[in-house]
Structures are given as C-alpha cells and as structure tokens.
Structure 1
Amino acid sequence: MGEYDVIVIGAGAAGLAAGERLAASGLSFAVLEAKERVGGRAWTDRHVFGGIPFDRGCHWLHSASRNPFREAADRLGMRYMVRATRRSADLFLGSTKADAQTAREAWNAVEAAFEAAAAAPGEPDRPAIAGCDTSGPWWRLARHWLTLLSALPPERISALDLAAYSDTYENWPVSDGYGALVARTSAHVPVHLGVEVRSIDMRDTPIRIETNRGTLRAGHVILTVSTNVIASGAIRFLPDLPAEVSEAAAGCPTGLAEKVAFLLDAPLAEFGENVYVDTLDPDRPDRPPVNFVANHLGWPLVVGQLCGETAEALEGEGEAAMTAFALKALKDMLGSGIAKRVRTATATHWGSDPHVLGAYSCATPGHAGARAVLRRPVGERLFIAGEAVSESAFSTAHGARETGLAAAAQAIAARS
C-alpha cells in the first residue's frame, strides 16, 4: 500500500477530521479503517428499520450552539431538532404514570446527584458516588443516569474527570442521523476500508505498520482507536508504549452503553414527538431503571438505553436477552398489549465490537489526568486522538473531531 508522510488509524470522527486537515496540507497520507464503513461510533443505520435513520451510536449534538457538527449540518442542509432540555418529560413507577410534581422531584434529584458527584475546584479526586446522597427515593434513577452519561457506574467515575466536562445543556437530536452527518462532513476524505492494523513498529524510521492488507510505512502516525482497544493488546506496539501511556489508557476505559430499539405499527398516541420517559419500579429494587425515547424523531420507534452493569450482563447474554429486558419494561409501562405492536427490534453491541470494545470513555478515580497523558505525543511521532483525549468534550463526537484536527496539526508541524 506504500509509504506516506502520515497514516491515520481509524475513520471515526477524529480520524476523518485528521484526514480533512491533512488533505489541505499537501502531505501524503492514508486513513485506515478496520470496518467496511466510516464513522466509528457514529453510525446511522438505515437498513434495519426499512429506511428510517437509526443512530446506533452517538445521536445528540451536545453543546449544540458551539458544536462544529451543528455548523456542518446547517451547511449541508441536514435536519436536527432544537430542544430546550433533555430532561425526561414523564416518569412511570411500575405500571403507574407519576404525576407531574413527582416527575419533577425525581428529575431534580437526578440533577442534584450530578452536581454532588462532580468534585469542586481544588478538591482531591474521589469516586463520584462519594458525594451523592444514596438514601433518597430517587437514587436508583440518579445512579442510572450517572452511569448512562459516563458509561461507568458512579463507583468507578472520577469526580474530577466528571467536573471537567463542559456542557451548554443544548442536546439536539439529529433527525437525519448523526452518523450520516459525520460521514457527509468528511465525504471528501479518502479512506481505506477493511484494513485492520496489527502492529505499529517505531523502532526505526519510517514507522512500520503491519495490517491485514500488507505493510505500510509513515513518518508519523495518528492513532484514533478507543482506549479499550489500546489497552486490549489488539494492536502490538514495538517498542511497548511508555508505561504512563498504557496506564492512562487503562485508567480511562471505554465504558458500556447500549440501545434497544423497537419499530411499532404506529406512533404511540400517549406521547408527543421524541418524548423522553424514565421507568422505575419502586417495588422491585432488582429491576434496573430504563429510560426510553418514545416516538423517536416522530417515527413509530421506541428506543431504550441500557448502561453499566446492566448493559454488560445483557449484552453478554445476547440480543434476545437485551430485547426481552427492554420489552418487559415497556410492558410494565404501557401494558402487555404493546408487544403485539412491535414489528421488529434491534440492539447495539458496542461492548463486544472488536474494533471499539465499549461506548465512550470515563476516567476512573485517581486517573483524572489520564486524558492529558494521552494527548502528549509518543516519541514525537505517534499522536493519539479521539473523544478520550478531549480535555472537556470527552464522550462526544465533536470532542473527537477537535482532537483529530489538533493531532493532524501536530503531525503537520512535525513534518515541516
């Protein structure tokens, strides 16, 4: 496949952004992607529901007013929904719909838990749960949301890392699909699909990259795979990565968050368009909470979100177990008759996807500095990019994009 000035490994939001900047630089480069598609964890599936766009991965334009993908959507004419809040509108306690006051109290408790979980400036790091009141009636729901938005349970979330996330609280769903938006934004970037990188050998110059399609060489490499892939050993590094880099990848793992989606015969008449609903059974503490998006983007879709230990256990059992769990929660909420209205269902499998091994990153207690370590060049020739290295927009597609642009700028400067 040849020799290049720069090779980019991974064609998610970070790798594609790096390719954009490299394409404008005049340097020779190649973007390698193990999958047969671009986008990484940004993936709009239009096949499973017969043309309806379903984002298997990222879906919300977080901090939308300053999100570069929102600007790209405007430029490309791709639709999104402007929402004032992602606060859930309805709460079901078992099979009973809570009144508006109770639903507000529950969500207020969720928001209070997020505030308490994050460390204040100057505080030492600690598990996020240490700051929370776990005795209240809404703790299980708050724990679910803490886990969902970090992909790790609060016992494993660094309070300092949580506090570092910067958010404008504008979370706008992309009607035409976030994955499709990411792909179209970088449509001019050439990508070599189906190329799995097996080793990166930096013992000599140029760097030698072994793949399933042969050997490539490059002066510099931009690596955009997830921290779990780095830590897994799926890519062999010669010599080994510096200990601090390996420890940083392990200390900022890619946690678990999965979706289960149901296509119904028609939209749910009980709800408006794209309504967020929480479910919690006070009488069954063994049943984890589930949150749904009803009438997803106006389509007859209901999308449930699983996370943390629940996602790990169910995804390990397989799609049938994931679907059965979410359908049981739907039955509790809407009655057993809802099952007859399901036309087809699907579930995501980010945890077992060998090219991803998780959803998005979260630093664990004591490892709040891991992202800064991962941002540093390795031997001045290897640059790591992706949402995990973002300083304050981690776990987002726009955070990944920004790091890809930054890594490419570093590689360009190193080549000049």
Structure 2
Amino acid sequence: MSHTKLHPETLALHQGYAPDSQQTISVPIYQTTAYGFDSSQQAGARFALQELGNIYTRLTNPTHDVLEKRLAALEGGASGIVTASGSAAIFYAIINLAFAGDNILIADKIYGGSSNLLLHTLKNLGIQARVFSIDEPSSIEPLIDTKTKAIFFESLSNPQIAIAPIEEITQIAKKHQIITICDNTVATPILCNPIKWGVDVVVHSLSKYASGQGSTISGGIVDREGLNDLIKDNPRYPQFNTPDPSYHGLVYASVPLPIFNLRIRTALLRDIGAALSPFNAWLVLQGLETLKVRIHEHSAHALKIAQFLSSHPKVTAVNYPGLANNPYHHLAKKYFKDSLCSGLVSFEIIGGSEQAKKVCDSTQIFSIVVNIGDTKSLIVHPASTTHSQLDTDQLNALGILPNTIRLSVGLENPQDLIADLSQALQD
C-alpha cells in the first residue's frame, strides 16, 4: 500500500498488513524465536544477505514488520526499525554513526534520561556530547569539527515543552554533511513530521503516545528517503563506505536499500540484541490505530488546563506552546498541525521543591507516574525523579527548577482535571 496518498489515520489502521490465509483483521502476534528454512542453501543466502527473509526474531519478525512499515509511513520515511525501548533506539541511532574519538551535538533541552545516556554513558565509550542551545541555533556551528557525526534534538522537549527550530538546525547540518536525529516522541507523527523539514532520522519511545496505555516499553527508528545519498562517499561515515569485516566485507553504501536502518539491523541488533518482543509490537499496533483521535483530545485538554493554570495566583509560569503568549507559539504554528501541542504541560508554582511535591501528592485524579502519553492523567516533580541524576547547574541549564511540575494530560474530562488541580493548589 502506497503511503503517499493516504491520510495518517488510514495508514495507522492499514499500512503494512494484508489479511493472511486465515483472513485475520487484527495483525497476528508471531511469537516465535526463530524460523524454518526451505533448505540449507536458503539459510546461507539469507545470512549472506543474498535473499531477504526472516532468520531470527532478534533481527526481524512479521509483527515487527507491520509496525515498522506503519511507523515509517506515518513519519514519511523510507524504512523503520523497532527496538526494545526508546533509549535503545537513541543508542542505536548514535552508535550507528559515532565511534570512540568522535563527537555528537545535542540540544540543551531534552529528556533527562537521554541527557544521561548521551553525556555520560557514551562518554565511557569515547564519544563526546557537545551541548548547543535549542533557542540559539547559531551556537551549533562553532561546535562542529571533522569528528562530529550527528546532531540530536527533540521536536517537542520533555519536560521544558520547548519546540526546536527544526529547519534552521537541518540547514546547518546539511551545510556540513552531518546527519540529524530528531526525537519525535512527544509530538508524534500526527502533529509533526520532522522529515518534512529536513531531518534525516527520527527516533521514538513508542512507550508513550504511540501505544497510549502505559502497557509496553518499545522504541523505533525511521530514516528518510534519500539518506543513502548523504552517506555514500561521505568521509564522516567510513563504516558505510568501507568493507565490514563482520559481514563478509559488505559495503553498505553499495546496497540498494535504506542503509542507515539496514546497518542497525544487521550489525547492532545482531550484536547488542535490544530487540522488541512481538507481543509488545502488537500492543503498539493497537495504540497506533487510535493515535490521531487520542493526540487531538490530549492536546485540546492540555490547552484548557494550561489556560487555567495561567490565571491561577499560585502559578508563576506555564510552559505550553499552544498558549498565544508562549515563546514557542510561532514555532508551533509553523511545525505542528493545527498548532496542536500534545498533552504535555509543565508549570512552576510559588514555593520550592517541597511545595511542588505537596501539590503532586494532593491530586486525586492525576497519578504520580514518570511516564507520559498515557490515556490517564499523570503528574510528576521532574527535579527529584526523571531528572534527579542532574546537578543544580545542569537542571537550571535545562530550565527545570525545584518548583517545576510536569503534567501528562490524559483523556478524562478536562473540567474534572481542572477541579483536581484547583484543590491540590489550594492545600
């Protein structure tokens, strides 16, 4: 099914699957470890990449395949690959490009777990992360050198709710022939398509809005059409242009397939093995079917709550780009469909850390949970939970204060949610 003429909600229901011999409408869960071959010759051909087909579920699986095709179609990309988690997706995307001695550029406003991975864990592997200001794209170019292999940012950041100037970032990257990686978890492909604005690779934590019910951990990677042309003969990426000794001397740039995700599948999934279970892939597929309806409702409810918080005497600041006075509102109008901005809201209250925690503890409908994108409304104090690994200076640099509270607004009636926040703020 071609995804060029169909709308997202149609793709989310049909892309990548035709009923099998049993005429099942729901995509089957292919809960298998391995696959049988017709012959030893066929087995050898598949291992040598002379024939495409299933070998082992760590690499491919029919349920994965449907999810990968749907995700790629929704993002307008060339191919998709699913992973065990969003963190695994980011890790694979980065180490597909960077080796010890290389560096990557990362935005200052990103999820704390991603910051920890990119600043600290990768440092132990010899990969340096250099931080640029998402609000000042001019800060990117001075950080670039011959060892810069990727530029990483979030389309809509968590928990600062900042929108990246995507087009400005990708223009700088193209000038220097560097691959851009955008985390589109919070925005989802329903609201924003980074590839449309020049991004090369999109990553997701599919555990969030994509699945929607807080029932699975999963991740995904989508690469764009034409990325092969950027990689081929690019001195920044010799791993794609020289023989791979672990794969019979294969030169990825010579393969007529999307080679970014091909190398992740054949080398990184093969060796590191952070693969998604077929059942979890099936759970995400169920979520994708209702993603458009849900993300529109999340966004509408979040806007009402942001407006309520903006007028509350105990609230000193509200971060939500859907508000006309928000500094990112103009970017929401440019990059986000109908200026919808997801269900993520953060705000600051009078008082410090203990007062913020008290508000969280006093809610009755909102649950204290560190996930986002659930159908149920969630609340958390980022400085003591999701970003607790960071010191005070790092938190301040990220715009996370001791009195910051983050909401993931769910699908409950917004008036009930407003009443819940109102009573919590009065305590």
Higher-helix-fraction structure: 2
Higher-strand-fraction structure: 1
- TM-score relative to the length of structure 1: 0.26
- TM-score relative to the length of structure 2: 0.25
Higher relative contact order (CA 8 A, sep 6+): 1
